Chains A and B, each alone.
Chain A
Amino acid sequence: MKSSGVIMKTVQPVVFAHEVRKRFGENEVLRGVNLNVHASEVVVILGSSGSGKSTFLRCLNQLEEIDGGWIEIDGDPAGYEVVGGVVRPLGDRRKVLQRRALGMVFQQFNLFQHLTALENVTEAPISVRGTPKAEARDKALALLETVGLADRARLYPYQLSGGQQQRVAIARALAMEPKVMLFDEPTSALDPELVGEVLSVMKTVAKAGTTMIVVTHEMGFAQEVSDRVEFMDNGVIVQSGPFNELVSNPASAKVAAFVRQAIH
Chain B
Amino acid sequence: MTAHIESADLSAKHQHPPSVAEAVGYWRPWRWLVSIIFTLLVAQFLVTLALNPNMQWHVVLDYMFHPVVLRGLMMTLLLTFLAMLVGFTLGTGLALFRLSPILPMQMFALGFTWLFRSIPTLVLLIFLYNLAILIPEVSLKIPFGPTLWSQDTNVLVTPFVAAIIGLGFHKAAYMSEIIRAGLLSVDDGQRQAATALGMSSGTTLRRIVLPQAMRVIIPPTGSEIISTLKLTSLVSVISMSDLLYTIETIYSRTFQTIPLLLVACIWYLVLTSILQFAQRYVERYFGRGYRAPGGKDNRAEAEG
Contacts and interface: CB of A to CB of B under 8 A. Distances in A.
B280 interface: no
A93 B197 contact: no
Nearest to A111: B193
Interface stretch (A96-104, A222-230, A239-247): A96-104
Interface in B279-304: 286, 288-291, 297, 299, 302-304
A100 B197 CA distance: 6
B200 A156 contact: no
Interface in A68-105: 92-93, 96-97, 99-100, 102-104
Given A115-B289, A123-B207, A158-B291, A128 B193 contact: no
A209 B299 CA distance: 39
A106 interface: yes
A12 B13 CA distance: 86
A172 interface: yes
Contacts of B239: none
B302 A159 contact: yes
Contacts of B302: 116, 154-156, 159
Given A96-B199, A154-B302, A155-B302, A110 B192 contact: yes
Nearest to A102: B196
Contact of B198 (A96, A108, A115, A116): A96
Main secondary structure of the interface of B (DSSP, over half): helix
B303 A110 contact: no
Contact of B197 (A113, A114, A173): A173
A124 B197 contact: yes
Interface string A121-133: 0011001100000
Given A116-B302, A154-B302, A176-B198, A108 B189 contact: yes
A115 B286 CA distance: 11
Contacts of A92: 200-201
B113 to A, nearest CB: 27
B197 to A, nearest CB: 4
A144 to B, nearest CB: 15
A186 interface: no
B198 A99 contact: yes
B190 A127 contact: no
B211 A106 contact: no
Interface string B207-244: 11001100100000000000000000000000000000
A114 B304 contact: no
B198 A110 contact: no
B195 interface: yes
Nearest to A156: B289
B198 A124 contact: yes
Interface of A: 61, 63, 92-93, 96-97, 99-100, 102-104, 106, 108, 110-116, 123-124, 127-128, 154-159, 169, 172-173, 176
27 contacts: A63-B192, A99-B195, A99-B197, A99-B198, A100-B198, A104-B196, A106-B192, A106-B196, A110-B187, A110-B189, A112-B212, A114-B211, A114-B212, A114-B289, A116-B302, A123-B207, A127-B203, A127-B207, A128-B198, A154-B302, A155-B302, A157-B289, A158-B290, A158-B291, A169-B193, A176-B197, A176-B198
Interface of B: 187, 189-190, 192-201, 203, 207-208, 211-212, 215, 286, 288-291, 297, 299, 302-304
A-B CB proximity, top 6 nearest: A100-B198, A110-B193, A110-B189, A104-B196, A124-B197, A114-B289
Given A106-B196, A156-B302, 16 more contacts: A92-B200, A93-B200, A100-B197, A103-B196, A106-B189, A106-B193, A110-B187, A116-B289, A123-B208, A124-B194, A127-B203, A128-B203, A154-B302, A158-B291, A169-B193, A173-B196
